[in-house]
Amino acid sequence: MRVTYGLDNFRTISCAVATTGTFDGVHLGHRKILSQLVTKAKKVGGKSVLLTFSPHPRIVLQPDVKLELLSSENEKIELLKKTGLDHLIVHPFTREFSRTQSLDFVRECLVNKIGVKHLIIGYDHHFGRNREGSFGHLKEFGPIYGFQVEEIAAFDIDQVNISSTKIRKALADGQVELANSYLGTQYPISGTVIKGNQIGRTIGFPTANIECDSSHKLLPKDGVYAGKLYENGNSYYAMANLGSRPTIGSKQRTLEVHCIERNINIYEKKVRFDIYKHLRGIKEFANLDALKKQLELDKDEALQVLRNC
């Protein structure tokens, strides 16, 4: 997949099969659109193209409203690489760009810049200034500008419509396995390992403190989780504490990850923690010895979960 930053830097394709949207989280609903996009491109001898935006439009248009995203830009790119897309265009979203009328967006961005001949969109897709553009408008514009348009109906899994809203709720409730089933993969948290207070080392559970790449990243419900830690192509069984650490008197919300059965030095390294299961909530223990006993139990449970995945 070739990534291009900005429409002006994209070389127009003679037969582009395209879609557009934020695709936050790249969940199963998104993947159905992208799968159909890739299949269509191969069928007509064209190239598949996704036009997305950075930052997320709501960050620009509603700066006072807290927005929690399912994926950082880098996480989204990594997820999209697995879909078979030929081209990803990440276009800067500004207030000026948000004022682009729907007709101008279609003519200038999709047709003239990208070279769209086939446009595939998800159910209830809107675009252009004030979201004025709709599937109906695209059907009107198609014959004028020489492209065909196709709308994909809402995608259901177990009779539950997949949406970013439902995934966010599942994560907020600590239902990570449900969220993962909607996403089609484990929920990732990417960031840089920063220096902590190193108390875990004193009880045999050294941890990597992860500072998230994005301040808008949605973190699940506080608790202890089983997962895998990825660094430089290597993966490790791990468990994490997300939230405060009442036993040592810390109210700060942090993500601390312990590599099970391995002692690795990843300070200042870029890592990703994929969450598999919520093991328990945050607890306060009488002392560090009691905490260590609980962590041993957590480790055994985490290993059982991860070995059965």
Q: Which of 126, 142, 160 is the last residue of a domain?
A: 160
pLDDT for residue 184? 94
Cα–Cα distance between 235 and 116 in angstroms, integer?
40
What integer is the mean pLDDT of 110-130? 89
User: How many structural domains does the chain have?
Assistant: 2
What integer is the mean pLDDT of 10-36? 94
> Please, are residues 107 and 145 in contact by the beta-carbon 8 Å criterion?
yes
- pLDDT-based confidence at residue 131 (cuts at 50, 70, 90): confident
Pairing of strands 87-92, 47-54: parallel
What's the whole-number average pLDDT of the chain?
A: 90
Give the three-state DSSP class for 281: coil
Cα distances (Å, whole numbers) of residue 140 to 18, 52, 62, 144, 243: 17, 23, 31, 7, 51
Nearest to 242 by CA among 232, 227, 264, 230: 227
Q: Which of 120, 145, 160 is the last residue of a domain?
A: 160
AA identity, residue 178? L
pLDDT in tens, 135-183: 888 899 999 999 999 988 765 555 556 788 899 999 999 999 999 999 9
- pLDDT-based confidence at residue 205 (cuts at 50, 70, 90): confident
> Please, are residues 273 and 215 in contact by the beta-carbon 8 Å criterion?
no
**Co-location of 144 and 21 in the same domain:** yes
Cα–Cα distance between 243 and 245 in angstroms, integer?
7
pLDDT in tens, 235-294: 999 999 998 776 666 667 889 999 997 788 888 899 999 999 999 998 888 888 888 899
pTM comes to: 0.89
Question: Tokens at residue 110, please?
Answer: 């999709």
Query: How buried is residue 244: exposed, middle or buried, by Cβ count under 10 Å (0-12/13-18/19+)?
Result: middle
> Please, are residues 286 and 221 in contact by the beta-carbon 8 Å criterion?
no
**Co-location of 15 and 149 in the same domain:** yes
Element housing 91 (H / E): strand 87-92
pLDDT for residue 147? 96
pLDDT for residue 199? 67
Cα–Cα distance between 67 and 60 in angstroms, integer?
11
Residue for token pair 């769209």: 116
**Co-location of 192 and 288 in the same domain:** yes
pLDDT in tens, 86-100: 999 999 999 999 999
**Co-location of 22 and 136 in the same domain:** yes
As a whole number of angstroms, the longest Cα–Cα distance in the chain is 73
**Co-location of 112 and 205 in the same domain:** no
Domain that holds residue 141: 2-160
> Please, are residues 92 and 109 in contact by the beta-carbon 8 Å criterion?
no
Judge if the upstream peptide bond of residue 63 is cis by omega within 30 degrees of 0.
no
> Please, are residues 228 and 238 in contact by the beta-carbon 8 Å criterion?
yes
Position 50 pLDDT exceeds 60:
yes
Query: How buried is residue 198: exposed, middle or buried, by Cβ count under 10 Å (0-12/13-18/19+)?
Result: exposed
Q: What CATH number is given to the structural domain containing 268?
A: 2.40.30.30
- pLDDT-based confidence at residue 1 (cuts at 50, 70, 90): very high
What integer is the mean pLDDT of 105-117? 96
Is residue 215 in a domain? Answer: yes
> Please, are residues 229 and 289 in contact by the beta-carbon 8 Å criterion?
no
Q: What CATH number is given to the structural domain containing 92?
A: 3.40.50.620
What integer is the mean pLDDT of 196-211? 78
